[in-house]
A and B are shown apart, each in its own frame.
Chain A
Amino acid sequence: MPETLPATIPTVASTPRGRSLGQRAFQRLRRNPIALLSLTYIVGLVLVALLAPVIAPYGYAAVDFTAITQAPSEKHWLGTDQLGRDVLSRLIHGTRVSLSVAFVAQAIILLIGVPIGLASGYIGGRFDLVVQRVVDVLYAFPSLLFVIIVMTFIQANLRTASGPFGELLVQANRATGGLLGVFIALGLIFWLTVARLVRAEVLKVKTNDYIDGARSLGASDWQIIRRHVFPNVLPPIIVATTLGLPAAIMIEAGLSFLGLGVAPPTPSWGLMIADAVPSIRGHPHMILAPAVALSLTLLAFNFLGDALRDAIDPWMSR
């Protein structure tokens, strides 16, 4: 039976289901109680970070030598540390450090990784080969060592920075509690993973007929990337970013734990854990609070990222 072409070609937007991948993903996410709980926790954490000076009962550096290493009480809900500082207040201010590292570092990673991955996968050929060699070589660099070396370099240079641009950097560093080095170091090494991921996805998408179709209809490369390639690459990027957030938090806390991260008295959860280690026996509350906060936060991001992956994965929708 010979079929005639329909008068109007149905557009992609009007699939029978009438709902976009994003909408369906959100539907599935809403049915996952752990994901919702995690999302609520993260939103709450962001609010705490934004409102830190208002919520915190004391200043994060307010020393009270009459109340040293006190157990939790009505006055100090989570007790005080070895300098008589309120643990709860430091914990609250610490959310700013953790979240800013997570989001700023991820932003830098995306800004470098996504364009390079898109270009490398889309253009292909010799350009792709060169980019892949660079990525391969940098991949051999042990990432934590790279972060530590680059961070030391940036921090030492910030101390001697001059000129208008240098001044700006020094101020930016002060505003972030000495974290500028951590941001940049994390961004400079972890874009590799994103670039690889994006490239692999682009290579997959590129083989689809609708790309050829778009090209034969006269779409420019830029239009094809923006309208057809990028939207398809977006879901894995979202998942990778969500799972990258806890990784950045974990590394910052680790570096601060070793005394390489934030500059005291800026409270970082990692620094609080390190400070509490010597008095672990007599005053376990000091270490418990930041350790639990850190683990819960990482847990929430990982649960959310996991649920997002399941929600976006087209295989799961069958």
Chain B
Amino acid sequence: MTTYVLQRVALLVPSLLVVYTITFFLMQATPGSPWNDDGGRPIPPQVVERLNERYGLDRPIWEQYTTFLWGIVSRGDLGDSYTRVGQSVNTIIRNFFPVSLQLGLVAMAIAVVFGITLGIVSAVNHNTWVDRLATFLSIVGISTPNYVVATVLVVLLAVTLGWLPTSGWDGPFSRRVIIPASALALAPMALIARYTRASMLETLRLDYVRTARAKGLRGQLILIRHCLPNALMPVVTVAGVAFTEVVTGSFFVETITGVPGIGRYFVTSVTARDYPVIIGTTLLFATVVMIMNLLVDLLYFFINPKLRYA
């Protein structure tokens, strides 16, 4: 077990190195430079030269590659942003990433609670109209892109009815979080509901459930104490994957609802050729993805005694 975890952790480093290398060279091979801003005033060549010198862009590519890498490895320094003068990428991540993370957590909380409830209700009422409606709704949920959901919610709840503010961010426990979090939550909620339903149906057919029924235990107790823990195992995997998708894929929703998260920042940094921000964000997201995958595997291991004692 320990060996397995150590192996997985050891794999993190080369994986990040590959992600860094691919991103670095793709960005370098992309024509254009951070300084020829489309539409803006043309920058004098002397200034461009000075800027290149300031950010080390006049050096050979290999030197840039190793200098930047060494900065990350030795000091955890992701460099300075080109477009936000005087701000380091570390500062930007510190300012914007927590927002994305909080938004993602609220969204996942909604998705997990409603998804599991919906899944259980579906499974218990198997093949009735309740089940069919829930199944239908979950496919609708998966099929509606979060940017459409976000737009519809803004139009409906904020603009037309005026119940909620149209955009902005006041932390994870304010009214402003409702629209972006709901928009982000819909797809993972639908997915979790489907997996919960399927695995609940399988569990309900098992012998030990019949035994529990025969013993005369109350239906709800059987459902919650006996079935749910077993049924939730495959759900954990889906929820883990869904969480990384919510955190790393929130830029559509962040852009529409004006949430100052890292996703929105990434999009502007790509068009502006802000290399350090792009590399920093990509490395950050890659780390999130890998750690989450590892956590899911470990969690799976702990909740499944069969795997633990094998």
Contact = CB atoms under 8 A, between A and B. Distances in A.
Interface of A: 136-142, 144-145, 148-150, 152-153, 156-157, 159-160, 246, 250, 253-254, 257-258, 260, 270, 273, 277, 280-281, 284, 287, 291, 294-295, 298-299, 301-303, 306
B9 to A, nearest CB: 13
A257 B22 CA distance: 26
Given A141-B22, A254-B145, A295-B143, A149 B11 contact: no
B243 to A, nearest CB: 13
Given A145-B285, A281-B159, A302-B139, A294 B30 contact: no
B147 A254 contact: yes
B19 A258 contact: no
B281 interface: yes
A216 B155 CA distance: 67
A245 to B, nearest CB: 12
Contact of A258 (B31, B159, B255): B255
Interface of B: 11, 14-16, 18-19, 22-23, 26-27, 29-32, 139-140, 142-145, 147-148, 151-152, 154-155, 159-160, 244, 248-249, 251-252, 255-256, 266-267, 270-271, 278, 281-282, 285-286, 288-290, 293
B263 to A, nearest CB: 9
B203 to A, nearest CB: 16
B279 to A, nearest CB: 10
Contacts of A156: 30-32
A145 B27 CA distance: 12
B159 A145 contact: no
A145 B281 CA distance: 9
Contact of A137 (B15, B31, B266): B15
Contacts of B251: 144, 258
10 contacts: A137-B19, A141-B22, A149-B23, A149-B278, A153-B29, A159-B31, A253-B147, A260-B267, A277-B151, A295-B144
Given A140-B289, A142-B289, A277 B256 contact: yes
Nearest to A280: B155
A149 B244 CA distance: 19
5 nearest CB pairs, A to B: A142-B285, A298-B143, A299-B143, A142-B248, A153-B30
B11 A136 contact: yes
A3 B152 CA distance: 71
A152 B147 contact: no
B16 A140 contact: yes
Contacts of A281: 155, 159-160
B14 A253 contact: no
Nearest to B244: A142
Contacts of B281: 145
B99 to A, nearest CB: 17
A291 to B, nearest CB: 5
Nearest to A138: B18
A257 B253 CA distance: 11
Nearest to A161: B31
A306 B190 CA distance: 14
A152 B267 contact: no
A295 B141 CA distance: 10
Nearest to B279: A149
Contacts of B19: 137, 140-141
A299 B139 contact: yes
A136 B15 contact: yes
Given A137-B18, A153-B30, A273-B151, A145 B248 contact: yes
A245 B150 CA distance: 22
Nearest to A144: B249
A140 B294 CA distance: 11
Nearest to B142: A302
A280 B143 contact: no
A160 B31 contact: yes
Contacts of B154: 280
A140 B286 CA distance: 5
A250 B186 CA distance: 15
Contacts of A258: 251-252, 255, 267
B144 A157 contact: no
A273 B286 contact: no
A148 B32 contact: no
B151 A280 contact: yes
Contacts of A291: 148, 151-152
B125 to A, nearest CB: 19
A140 B159 contact: no
A130 to B, nearest CB: 13
A160 B29 CA distance: 12
Contacts of B266: 145, 148
B249 to A, nearest CB: 5
Contacts of A160: 31
A294 B151 contact: no
Nearest to A296: B143
